[in-house]
Structure 1
Amino acid sequence: MGARRARYLVFFQYLGTDFRGVMAIKPPQAGSGVQNHLERAAERLGSEEPVGFTISSRTDSGAHALCNSAHIDVCRPEGREPHAPDLLTRLLNHHLEHPAIRVLRTVRVADDFHARFSATSRRYVYRLVSGCSHPRQLPVWERKLCWVTRATQLDVAAMREAAGHLVGTHDFSAFRSTSGCDAWRNPVKTLVRATVAPGPPGPLARHSDCSRLQFWELEFESRSFLYKQVRRMTGALVSVGQGLLHPQQVQEMLASGAPPSQPYIRIVPAWGLFLKSVGYQGLGEAPPLPDPVLDIQPSMDGESDAGPAPS
């Protein structure tokens, strides 16, 4: 009997403030990506081969994920059964050293499953706030979780009209990044959702003077996006809300199929961006799930390096 290899789909979340994006950063570059920490935790799984995370959805430096995903292969020693998915979730969380990352759920999948190419949808939310002129006017816990538009108010009706022009199948060249490794991708994408809605302030808002602030959430859904497409679409919609663009101009930009040239299609800051979910056929979207009580014993896993459960 040879080694037992099993493939898993891992759903995880993170606050991106401390990371240079989700992808691994290799020396001699400074800093780290979320993937670096996940793979460091996976070194403790007792796999016969190195465990690499194939990430489904890239996020930029400073951006966050309520739920991202990746697939991994774990090769158990001869005579050992594959890890149960719930145990694998608990083991990864136990060995994760960075407090801003958490594994939500693990699912056993087929050997040919691919976290990126099997995904059927991706949903992003961009959080922004109007009613103040500087980030220092925000509660401190919100400053890296939303973008201050520096507008006293926004024309939300016009923003929603412009968002409606984005929905459907279009050449999104006007909203793609002109630099980076994305140039080879097909710019034609199908956007199935583009909404503008009031958003809740942080949970501690009642302890601060937030009455003058209005939080907004811009949500976008597609099977895939171009590099920085969401941040450019958000920039255009905010420009519409500020009266710098007319909704019809957004439609004209789409129809042109031209690379971005308008100064109002800015790339808004990454710290307001959240990857909300990644969907799969038959699996749906993985909501944040509460962790079971972590109680790892050698008899459960057969590994002596699991260590005692934290108190």
Structure 2
Amino acid sequence: MNRYLIHMSYLGTQFRGAQKQVPKAFPDQLDRETIQGNLEIGLRRLRPLNKPFVVLSSRTDTGVHALHSTCHVDLESKSGKPFDSILILSTLNSYFNRCHLDIRILNVVPVNNRFHARHDAIKRTYFYRIAVTQSTSSLSPLIAFTPVEERRRCHFVTTPLDINHIKEAASLFVGKHDFRTFMETSKSHDKITRKNIDSFEILPGNSHIIQSATEFQPGSIQDYTKYTYWDFVCTARSFLHKQIRRMVGVLLSVGQGKLTYRDVKFMLQIPSKHSWDTRAVPAPPHGLYLCKVEYRPESLHNNKLEQ
């Protein structure tokens, strides 16, 4: 049996999330509506002796995207020799293309059998894309014009945002805190809610279609100037369920003047589901991207390659 680290990207719009969702009584049931399920179906095309079980590094929710995510899987070939990494990559991408699935395998790397895609990750970086209208028209800009290529890939905000206030409030999240207030209600009673946020930056963003569209559609490109794009970039080893979307929702409320710096501080200092301020609404999933999962080089080391 050999273990492989798979690097991948995907658009979450057509999936029910990353993690396979099947009844516990039927663990081998195929799931064509999740990232994990489709990976396992695609890996069966290699005809391994074992049933592939994919372990995800990050279990993103329905509608959340990934520019770079990872998983690991154990495979045993009929010959007893390791599968070629290129064969795994090409087999999966061929399956995804044929089934019109928005998943792409970026790389496949043999790793040691002690490696764990989720537990060995030392950092995960997400960013949340915001587009803020610049229009002063009484007609909603979402009705007047919304770039079709950004549909379900960016969160459009119709009210002005005070970015300076947002940056000030975002600084509160950096460091080690109990984020119980920012966690989706969980049935688990032993959830570790203290997390260390390495960084939380608010950076200028853009719509990548602008550069190419300028050359071919100079008459309509002025519509794109109705929006200012911002990326909310957050890095930590791990996050609670829906923590990032709830933090972004709070920051947007601060930028809109619904919440203050002190309100955010209170939610951190009094960690409880009852401390959540209902003037804030969790940001929708389609603006969130997992963009990097990092490991220590020594955790990837494959001793078998040296034998």
Greater CA deviation, 274-283 or 113-122?
274-283
- Look up the match of 2:88: 88
**Which residues of structure 2 form unaligned runs of 5+?**
24-28, 301-307
Partner AA of 2:190 in structure 1 = W
Deviation at 1:183, TM superposition (A): 5.2
- TM-score, normalized by length of structure 1? 0.83
Partner AA of 2:279 in structure 1 = Y
- Look up the match of 2:236: 222
Residues in 2 aligned to 1:202 and 1:59: alpha-carbon distance in whole angstroms: 24
- Look up the match of 2:287: 272
Partner AA of 1:166 in structure 2 = F
- Look up the match of 2:116: 114
Deviation at 1:52, TM superposition (A): 1.2
Partner AA of 2:130 in structure 1 = L
- Look up the match of 1:303: none
Deviation at 1:31, TM superposition (A): 6.7
Residues in 2 aligned to 1:277 and 1:284: alpha-carbon distance in whole angstroms: 17
Equivalent residues in 2 for 1:230-241, closer than 5 Å = 230-241=244-255
Deviation at 1:108, TM superposition (A): 0.9
Partner AA of 1:55 in structure 2 = L
1:169 maps to which of 159, 169, 176: 176
Deviation at 1:95, TM superposition (A): 2.5
Partner AA of 2:171 in structure 1 = G
Higher share in helix = 2
- The CA deviation string for residues 203-228 of structure 1, in whole angstroms up to 9 with x for no partner, is 24544411121111101111000000
Decide whether the 8 Å contact of 1:196 with 1:216 is kept in 2: yes
Q: Please state whether the residue corresponding to 2:253 is helix, strand or coil.
A: helix
- Look up the match of 2:26: none
- The CA deviation string for residues 173-209 of structure 1, in whole angstroms up to 9 with x for no partner, is 111112x455531110000011111101132454441
Greater CA deviation, 132-141 or 159-168?
132-141
Q: Please state whether the residue corresponding to 1:210 is helix, strand or coil.
A: helix
Greater CA deviation, 94-103 or 228-237?
94-103
Decide whether the 8 Å contact of 1:13 with 1:68 is kept in 2: yes
- TM-score, normalized by length of structure 2? 0.84
- Look up the match of 1:307: none
Decide whether the 8 Å contact of 1:16 with 1:61 is kept in 2: yes
Q: Tell me, yes or no, if structure 1 residue 69 matches structure 2 residue 65.
A: no
CA-based RMSD of the aligned residues comes to: 2.2
- The CA deviation string for residues 107-135 of structure 1, in whole angstroms up to 9 with x for no partner, is 11111111111111111111111116454
Decide whether the 8 Å contact of 1:126 with 1:219 is kept in 2: yes
Decide whether the 8 Å contact of 1:52 with 1:73 is kept in 2: yes
- Look up the match of 2:194: 188
Deviation at 1:282, TM superposition (A): 1.1
- The CA deviation string for residues 57-89 of structure 1, in whole angstroms up to 9 with x for no partner, is 011111111111110001011x44202323322
Q: Please state whether the residue corresponding to 1:240 is helix, strand or coil.
A: helix
Which contiguous aligned blocks of 4+ residues in structure 1 show a shift greater than 3 angstroms? Answer: 27-31, 132-136, 180-184, 204-208
Residues in 1 aligned to 2:298 and 2:36: alpha-carbon distance in whole angstroms: 23
Q: Please state whether the residue corresponding to 1:159 is helix, strand or coil.
A: helix
- Look up the match of 1:156: 163
Deviation at 1:16, TM superposition (A): 0.7
Residues in 2 aligned to 1:95 and 1:165: alpha-carbon distance in whole angstroms: 45
Residues in 2 aligned to 1:236 and 1:31: alpha-carbon distance in whole angstroms: 34
Percent of aligned pairs with the same residue? 35
Decide whether the 8 Å contact of 1:8 with 1:109 is kept in 2: yes
Q: Tell me, yes or no, if structure 1 residue 255 matches structure 2 residue 263.
A: no
Residues in 2 aligned to 1:262 and 1:189: alpha-carbon distance in whole angstroms: 20
Q: In 2 relative to 1, CA 112–219 (structure 1 residues): closer, same or farther, beyond 3 Å?
A: same
